[in-house]
Homo-oligomer: A and B are copies of this chain.
């Protein structure tokens, strides 16, 4: 064993000991300091900058490309490129940290009949005598059959090995009074006495960025508990493609990613159980929804082929596994069901959205858009479903935007232009950056007043329309890399300088909204649907719920339908996972959804590229 090298992270003063060669981003992650890493540790985005006050190695070429000589002299380095070879003291500035995004933590009310796959049954078994020498197993199985008839279409009830092992003592502990816990045709636990009303299940929505867990009692009416965490896999890259690359190219990469997400789920279960005052082993079932890559990583399935033409998932169908086999720390025989996928880039989370919004079962023409780290679009026409995925998300989540950030404290969340620019900042603190909704606001407002033209070009100060108010006009500034619009002056920010929008930022937004809008347009074309036909446009996902509908229409992110037809449906992916947890009927419906929803591959499709080019432009006012 090599001896660990000490690394101290400031300002927390947290210390870790790591093997020589470990990167700083990994070292920090191990003690819970999560650094921003949109590029997945390739050294290209520059977002993981740290200042090494002791033990700084010579700068790499990548360090030199990102930082000035002064900065390098002060010890500024890319955490993803710096390998620990000697003792270090490292300062992590707040801009380099990955902040938790604000998510709606309240559970959506689910209108489904409680008929879970896992259920408890109490039995007073007959005690054996010399005249009735039936085995313990027969006593239990007979009682089950008598009470419930043959379950699950004629498959006989089976006893889990661990149940048979517990059976002799369990039945005799309380005079042959026992509670059996059944998952479909299998008895997965048996406990002495009557323990009904204490059987729980947990539903997870594993987002690329945020993981939400919801705990429900499956055999009694009890409040749903909710907890959320940042997906700790962000330290291996912000988007699915970076994570796939990590899984593919790093030694133990896939294992790291799996252990990382399982650890996160276990943390969430711990919090949920504490809130509910129960033991982890009372959780007998889990349903896991996530995009296709998240599901592959959770199950430790190589996701490489998702990111490589022809973009094929390895797993489509829903999987039922034992919790113990996945390292999920709930009852070891608990069943873990992963929602089925539709395609490589449209996964179980979209299936859950379709379930929660009832798209498969409803008549009429409806569109659902789930903007997370990716943007998935589903169009339903009288129960026929088509879906696609677009790379819409990253810009809305702050990636590739100069001052972009997630919707966390310090993020500008609203921009209104009157005589001047008015801002609202999350947490009511000085601003740190722009989040998705304020990016849309800012561009929408600048479009409205004419600072930006239809093509997305920012007008030179001298070419601005007369109607632009003087204070607004004064915010257009020239810099080396082109024009910028000052949103917040240094005295309004916590970063020691102004926050502004560059011409490149506007182009990024155009790309993101163009991709999403082109996806919508392509699906509508596939189904022969015009915007005016849309009876509802459903916005799902953490980001979707903070958007301003009028601005989203103004920039052309959403089709031009009357605003009242645009509806927020909350964390529909999480809601769908919960529905599949508590309802056997929903569990069957998700498999159907995953099979009947037709995936439309946008890559290499000429009409998509045309639609994309067109959707890059902003609509005529």
Q: Show the binding face of A for B, using Cβ within 8 Å.
A: 128-130, 132-138, 141, 153-155, 158-159, 161, 164-165, 167-169, 172, 299-302, 304-305, 309-317, 319-321, 325-326, 341, 343-344, 599, 601, 603-604
Closest to A303 in B: B168
**Also in contact, A310 and B604, with CB within 8 A (given A138-B317, A153-B155):** no
B137 touches A604 (CB 8 A): no
Chain B residues with CB under 8 Å of A310's CB are: 128-130, 132-133
18 A-B interface contacts by CB (under 8 A) = A129-B310, A130-B310, A130-B601, A133-B311, A133-B312, A133-B601, A135-B315, A136-B312, A136-B313, A137-B315, A153-B153, A154-B154, A155-B155, A159-B319, A164-B299, A164-B319, A165-B301, A168-B305
A314 touches B344 (CB 8 A): no
**Also in contact, A299 and B153, with CB within 8 A (given A133-B343, A137-B317):** no
**Also in contact, A136 and B315, with CB within 8 A (given A165-B300, A168-B301):** yes
**Also in contact, A168 and B133, with CB within 8 A (given A153-B155, A154-B153):** no
Closest to A154 in B: B153
Q: How far is the CA of A249 from the CA of B155 in the complex (A)?
A: 39
B128 touches A312 (CB 8 A): yes
A386 to chain B minimum Cβ distance, whole angstroms, is 14
**Also in contact, A130 and B309, with CB within 8 A (given A155-B155, A314-B167, A317-B138):** yes
Q: A134-B312, A135-B341, A168-B301 are in contact. List 13 more A-B contacts (CB 8 A).
A: A128-B310, A130-B309, A133-B310, A135-B316, A135-B317, A136-B314, A137-B313, A138-B316, A161-B321, A164-B319, A165-B300, A167-B315, A168-B302
**Also in contact, A299 and B165, with CB within 8 A (given A154-B153, A158-B320):** yes
Chain B residues with CB under 8 Å of A317's CB are: 135, 137-138, 141, 159
Closest to A169 in B: B302
A164 touches B314 (CB 8 A): yes
Which 9 pairs between the two chains have the least Cβ-Cβ distance?
A: A135-B316, A135-B313, A168-B314, A136-B314, A128-B312, A130-B310, A168-B302, A138-B316, A137-B315
Q: How far is the CA of A261 from the CA of B88 in the complex (A)?
A: 55
Chain B residues with CB under 8 Å of A300's CB are: 165
A309, A312, A320, A321 — most chain B CB neighbours (10 Å)? A312
Closest to A292 in B: B135
Q: Which of B158, B302, B319 contacts A161 (CB 8 A)?
A: B319
How many copies altogether? 2
Q: Which of B134, B138, B604 contacts A130 (CB 8 A)?
A: B604
Chain B residues with CB under 8 Å of A132's CB are: 310
Chain B residues with CB under 8 Å of A343's CB are: 133, 135
B601 touches A315 (CB 8 A): no
Chain B residues with CB under 8 Å of A159's CB are: 317, 319
A136, A167, A320, A341 — most chain B CB neighbours (10 Å)? A136
A346 to chain B minimum Cβ distance, whole angstroms, is 10
B603 touches A130 (CB 8 A): yes
Chain B residues with CB under 8 Å of A137's CB are: 313-317
A290 to chain B minimum Cβ distance, whole angstroms, is 15
A254 to chain B minimum Cβ distance, whole angstroms, is 9
Q: How far is the CA of A168 from the CA of B302 in the complex (A)?
A: 7
Chain B residues with CB under 8 Å of A325's CB are: 161
Chain B residues with CB under 8 Å of A603's CB are: 130
Q: How far is the CA of A384 from the CA of B159 in the complex (A)?
A: 28
Chain B residues with CB under 8 Å of A133's CB are: 310-312, 343-344, 599, 601
Q: How far is the CA of A300 from the CA of B161 in the complex (A)?
A: 9
Chain B residues with CB under 8 Å of A604's CB are: 130
Q: How far is the CA of A230 from the CA of B135 in the complex (A)?
A: 29
Q: How far is the CA of A305 from the CA of B176 in the complex (A)?
A: 14
Closest to A342 in B: B135
Q: How far is the CA of A294 from the CA of B179 in the complex (A)?
A: 28
A134 touches B299 (CB 8 A): no
Chain B residues with CB under 8 Å of A319's CB are: 159, 161, 164
**Also in contact, A314 and B135, with CB within 8 A (given A161-B319, A165-B301, A301-B168):** yes
Q: How far is the CA of A174 from the CA of B137 in the complex (A)?
A: 46
